[in-house]
Amino acid sequence: MTKEAQTNLCCSCESVALSELGLIGAEEVVARILFNPQHIKADGTVKSGLWSPTDIRKKGVSLVRPGHLSPEALKAQADALASNYHKPRTAEGVIECKAEKVRAIFDDQGERLLCLFDDPVKATAALPSNPAHAMAIAAREVSDADIPQIKTLLTLAFGPLRRFA
Amino acid sequence: MFEIVNLHPMPTTEVMVGLTTALLALNGSATRGIVPPKKAESPTTKAALPPREPTFSYFNIRHSFKKLPNAFAEPYREMLALKTFADGWDGEGSKQIANDSVNAALAFLALLPSDVPPPEASAASDGTVDWYWRKGSKAATVTFYADRKAAYFALTDAGGVKDAFRLVDKIPAPLIESLRQL
């Protein structure tokens, strides 16, 4: 079910850069910032619940492009997101993987299940801008059975938690 | 001695908590449902019976007392605990874990053969829950939606299998075969 990455065959959103940082290349690393220890196992890997079916289908899975952020800027983004919430929470760290792994999740017919594209975020009253934001979202209407496949393969694709210093 | 697991929809978590408390009080113990393996058996009886796996017991409203392999005790408790996750548990917009989803996941656990490795309970921000297995670069996820709808994906050395199903009284055979390889 996991094949060589075939970019831009079905995800037109990957063909045009929305930010000045340019397209996300196959080798580029994308990261997910983790706030909730509930999703993290003792060995630092994450559980499948990190990936919400609703995010996969509709909202998109929020990611960042750490190659375009200094470690300090990445931490600052994480802290800003953590503090912009009605309950106290802390950014635990990030998990990372190459873009090509996210793009190499295929269904039984060999069609891509996820698109991954740059998604710059403008500043709001509460949060600073983040030109290095990225999004992964279902490439088409996915079935109930597609969801655990996407969750499992994302969980396997991303490495263990890298805690903030 | 016993915990209650609701394999069928109930109105509120509070009812379950109350019943659990009542049963614990009746038994005078808060050992969280673990029943140690029996030791005192006569040599003749022991020789005559096949070895039995350690189990733990829980109380099911409709089906009286049930037993699960001891290895499933921790996953059972982890999954049951997810019912306490309220709106906002996983950040802005995250939803309370659905009782229906947890009940279906516990019913699934009760149907799981004892030779399958124990899963891990996992919750998602939209209120759904998963059982999750991982062994190196292989893994499986069973996701539980509302109305006992579920779906699975398992990646083993034999490849990937996936399907959606409605949990009634059995687990799809291809899933069980895959889980045995994890």
Q: Using CA atoms, how far apart are residues A9 and A111, in angstroms rounded to an integer?
A: 9
Which pLDDT score, from 0 to 100, does residue A61 have?
Answer: 97
Which of B64 and B150 is assigned the larger pLDDT? B150
Report the domain count for chain A.
Answer: 1
Amino acid at A62: S
To the nearest whole Å, the CA of B112 is away from the closest chain A CA by 18
Answer yes or no: is A5 within a domain. Answer: no
Which of B122, B153, B162 has its CB closest to that of A49?
A: B122
Which of the residues A43, A152, A153 would you substitute to probe the B interface, choosing the one with the greatest number of B C-beta atoms within 10 Å? A152
Percentage of residues in chain A having pLDDT higher than 70: 95
How many angstroms from the chain centroid is the CA of residue B10? 17
How many angstroms from the chain centroid is the CA of residue B142? 12
Which pLDDT score, from 0 to 100, does residue A9 have?
Answer: 55
Collect all residues of chain B within an 8 Å Cβ-Cβ radius of residue A153.
155
Answer yes or no: is A116 within a domain. Answer: yes
Task: Quote the pTM value.
Answer: 0.81
Which of B90, B126, B160 has its CB closest to that of A149?
A: B160
Which of A47, A89, A146 has its CB closest to that of B132?
A: A47
Q: What is the average per-residue pLDDT within B109-122?
A: 96
SS3 at position B74: helix
CB contact (8 A) between residue A149 and residue B126: no
Answer yes or no: is A2 within a domain. Answer: no
Collect all residues of chain A within an 8 Å Cβ-Cβ radius of residue B159.
1
Q: What is the average per-residue pLDDT within B92-119?
A: 94
Q: What is the average per-residue pLDDT within A46-73?
A: 96
Q: What is the average per-residue pLDDT within B131-139?
A: 96
CB contact (8 A) between residue B132 and residue A155: yes
- The string of DSSP letters for chain A reads -B-S--TTSS-GGGTS-SSTT----TT-EEEEEE--GGGB-TTS-B-GGGS-HHIIIII-EEEE-GGGS-HHHHHHHHHHHHHSSSS-----EEEEEEHHHHTTBB-TTS-B-EEEEE--B---SSS--BTTEEEEEESS---TTHHHHHHHHHHHHS---EE--
Q: What is the average per-residue pLDDT within B84-102?
A: 91
- For A9-45, how does the pLDDT look when each residue is reduced to its tens digit (9 = 90+)? 578 888 888 888 999 999 999 999 999 999 999 999 9
- For A74-105, how does the pLDDT look when each residue is reduced to its tens digit (9 = 90+)? 999 999 888 877 777 889 999 999 999 999 99
Q: Inform me whether the pLDDT recorded for B15 exceeds 80.
A: no
Confidence band, pLDDT 50/70/90 cuts, at residue B93: confident
Q: So where are chain B's domains?
A: 3-179
Strands, sheet with A29-34, edge to edge from the N-terminal-most edge strand: A114-118, A133-138, A61-64, A29-34, A93-98, A162-163
Helix B73-81 vs helix B99-111: crossing angle, to nearest 10? 170
Which of the residues A90, A146, A149, A154 would you substitute to probe the B interface, choosing the one with the greatest number of B C-beta atoms within 10 Å? A149
Answer yes or no: is A7 within a domain. Answer: no
Answer yes or no: is A6 within a domain. Answer: no
- Structural domain including A48 reads 12-163
Residue A122, chain B, CB below 8 Å: the answer is no
Specify the DSSP class assigned to residue B17: H
Residue A91, chain B, CB below 8 Å: the answer is no
